[in-house]
């Protein structure tokens, strides 16, 4: 390896950046088949059905002489894990179809943009404390890079809908653009509160700021942002916005198969449709790790022990911790999909503009007041001011909620009990002859 040290510093920096990029892509790209299988299995468990469990099982022959004696008749179950691989092989080997009157350049470019966004989002996420391996680019505006790259994801859906020359696809693309405008603002403001709390836009600094003792008192619990009042509200806003950002249920209006056939990717098939799906699952996983980085302490363990401190700075240990926290985020994604029905378009807009955006703005103002009070008057005064502000916010929200219930029309509800109900006999009325 001495020849590496003999290269010019510029070439060494380029090779180092390429190596870090490969190390960042592997944790994002490699789990995609497992994520698809996990979603299918978890949804089937929630819906009381079996799910994929056959594809990939290996059964060795009992009579073949080519099989060693200790393997004859043995059966190894993969619990359907190879189903995702089989689907991928099927998609990439089927005939590729492209409608005649599409804009061919944009039609091909749209899924590539989605894949680019999903792979690039993780370039500023630190997967461990060793700066030699991660992140790819430890820039001082890492949070702005994430917001800028994530906003490019709407271009893939808009261009896919526009280039397909299909009215259903065009409607899905327009929905994606309106959805982006509605939720990007709330997402950015929610993250701005965490930037103010940590004092830096750099992702590594945000992670380090959460390694202190909880509230400066509880030494064995880290001070994750989600444990603070402003961080908890920002986490809720960001969590809802990241589900809408990835077009996942109940915010999958750009697809809406019962309304728009398949929305923006109606005309896509085989490889290009598969790229859209891969990009969606990678974006889900990446946003889950962004959530973990900003609100759940990143690669740090949930317990502050001096024995564990040296292991937190190891790359492989950090990757395992981040993947575990990302798996928790994926579980929430799937849980929400199995629980909530798809929102109407007006409900989607109301949630973004009338609830999430005002809540994020007020939380940002309270965070600024909290920080000012802490620096001028001390932490006790900051807690008092913060609790009073959040109490006033809750009272205002409850009053608005109560007034809205009074002004909304009340609908009568009826219930029918079908258990041990008495048998109902219908009276048969004979048909009467109608004379012309």
CA angle 176, 182, 187 (to 5 degrees): 110
Asked if the model's pLDDT at residue 63 lies above 90, the reply is: no
User: Mean of the pLDDT values across residues 198-215?
Assistant: 87
Asked if the model's pLDDT at residue 235 lies above 90, the reply is: yes
Interior/surface letters 335-371, b for 16+ CB within 10 angstroms, e for the rest? ebbeeeebbeeeebeebbeeebbebbbbbbebbeebb
Tokens of 167: 């009215």
Mean pLDDT across the chain: 82
Nearest to 249 by CA among 274, 280, 278, 271: 280
- Sequence spans of domains, the chain: 94-369
Asked if the model's pLDDT at residue 237 lies above 90, the reply is: yes
- C-alpha distances in Å from residue 341, one per residue of 39, 249, 252, 253, 337: 17, 7, 10, 11, 8
Per-residue pLDDT band for 409 (boundaries 50, 70, 90) equals low
Residues 6+ apart with CB under 8 A from 79: 41, 53
As a dihedral over the C-alpha atoms of residue 352, residue 355, residue 359, residue 361, rounded to 10 degrees, the angle is 50
Asked if the model's pLDDT at residue 432 lies above 60, the reply is: no
* pTM recorded for the entire structure: 0.84
pLDDT of residue 34: 87
User: Mean of the pLDDT values across residues 375-396?
Assistant: 87
d(CA 426, CA 192): 66
For 177-187, the pLDDT digits (tens) are 888 788 888 99
On the CB side of 435, CA atoms within 13 Å amount to 0
pLDDT of residue 192: 92
For 128-171, the pLDDT digits (tens) are 777 777 788 788 888 888 888 888 888 888 888 888 888 888 88
Asked if the model's pLDDT at residue 327 lies above 60, the reply is: yes
Supply φ then ψ for residue 54, to 5 degrees: -110, -45
d(CA 138, CA 136): 7
d(CA 407, CA 78): 56
Give the burial class of 415: count Cβ atoms within 10 A of its Cβ; 0-12 exposed, 13-18 middle, 19 or more buried.
exposed
User: Mean of the pLDDT values across residues 7-15?
Assistant: 71
User: Mean of the pLDDT values across residues 372-394?
Assistant: 87
Tokens of 159: 């261009």
For 254-310, the pLDDT digits (tens) are 887 777 777 788 888 888 888 888 888 888 899 999 999 999 988 888 888 877 777
pLDDT of residue 7: 67
Nearest to 56 by CA among 79, 74, 30: 79
pLDDT of residue 30: 81
d(CA 328, CA 288): 8
d(CA 166, CA 195): 42
User: Mean of the pLDDT values across residues 217-239?
Assistant: 88
Nearest to 289 by CA among 134, 107, 403: 134
Tokens of 215: 């509230």
Per-residue pLDDT band for 107 (boundaries 50, 70, 90) equals confident
pLDDT of residue 165: 85
Asked if the model's pLDDT at residue 2 lies above 60, the reply is: no
User: Mean of the pLDDT values across residues 220-240?
Assistant: 90
Mapped onto helix, strand or coil, the DSSP state of residue 218 is strand
Cis preceding-peptide flag for 250 (omega within 30 of 0) = yes
Tell me the residue length of the chain.
Answer: 436
Tell me which DSSP letter residue 423 carries. Answer: P
pLDDT of residue 213: 84
Mapped onto helix, strand or coil, the DSSP state of residue 313 is coil
User: Mean of the pLDDT values across residues 103-123?
Assistant: 86
pLDDT of residue 417: 62
């Amino acid at each position: 390896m001495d020849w590496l040290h003999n290269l010019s510093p510029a070439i060494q920096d380029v090779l180092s950046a390429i190596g870090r990029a490969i190390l960042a892509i592997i944790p994002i790209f490699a789990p995609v088949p497992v994520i698809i299988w996990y979603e299918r299995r978890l949804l089937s468990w929630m819906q009381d059905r079996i799910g994929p469990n056959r594809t990939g099982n290996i059964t060795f022959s009992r009579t073949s002489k080519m099989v060693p004696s200790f393997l004859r008749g043995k059966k190894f179950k993969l619990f359907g894990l190879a189903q995702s691989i089989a689907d991928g092989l099927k998609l990439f080997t089927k005939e590729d179809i492209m409608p005649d009157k599409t804009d061919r350049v944009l039609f091909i470019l749209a899924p590539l943009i989605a894949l680019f966004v999903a792979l690039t989002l993780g370039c500023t996420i630190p997967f461990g404390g060793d700066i030699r391996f991660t992140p790819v680019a430890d820039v001082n505006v890492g949070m702005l890079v994430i917001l800028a790259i994530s906003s490019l994801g709407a271009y893939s859906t808009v261009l896919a809908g526009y280039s397909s020359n299909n009215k259903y696809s065009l409607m899905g693309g327009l929905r994606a653009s309106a959805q982006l405008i509605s939720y990007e603002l709330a997402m950015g403001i929610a993250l701005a509160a965490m930037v103010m709390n940590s004092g830096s836009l750099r992702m590594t600094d945000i992670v380090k700021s959460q390694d202190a003792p909880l509230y400066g008192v509880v030494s064995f619990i880290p001070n994750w942002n989600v444990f603070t009042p402003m961080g908890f509200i920002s986490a809720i806003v960001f969590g809802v916005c990241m589900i809408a950002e990835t077009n996942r249920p109940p915010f999958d209006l750009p697809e809406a198969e019962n309304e728009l056939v398949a929305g923006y990717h109606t005309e896509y098939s085989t490889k290009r449709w598969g790229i859209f799906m891969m990009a969606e699952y990678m974006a889900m996983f990446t946003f889950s790790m962004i959530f973990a980085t900003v609100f759940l302490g990143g690669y740090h363990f949930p317990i502050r022990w001096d024995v564990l401190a040296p292991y937190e700075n190891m790359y492989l240990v950090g990757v395992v911790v981040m993947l575990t926290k990302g798996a928790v985020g994926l579980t929430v994604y799937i849980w929400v999909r199995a629980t909530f029905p798809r929102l109407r378009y007006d409900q989607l807009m109301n949630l973004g503009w009338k609830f999430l955006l005002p809540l994020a703005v007020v939380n940002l103002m309270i965070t600024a007041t909290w920080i000012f009070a802490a620096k001028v008057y001390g932490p006790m005064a900051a807690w008092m001011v913060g609790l009073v502000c959040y109490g006033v916010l809750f009272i205002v929200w409850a009053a608005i909620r109560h007034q809205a219930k009074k002004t909304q029309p009340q609908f009568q509800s009826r219930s029918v009990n079908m258990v041990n109900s008495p048998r109902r006999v219908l009276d048969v009325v004979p048909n009467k002859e109608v004379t012309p």
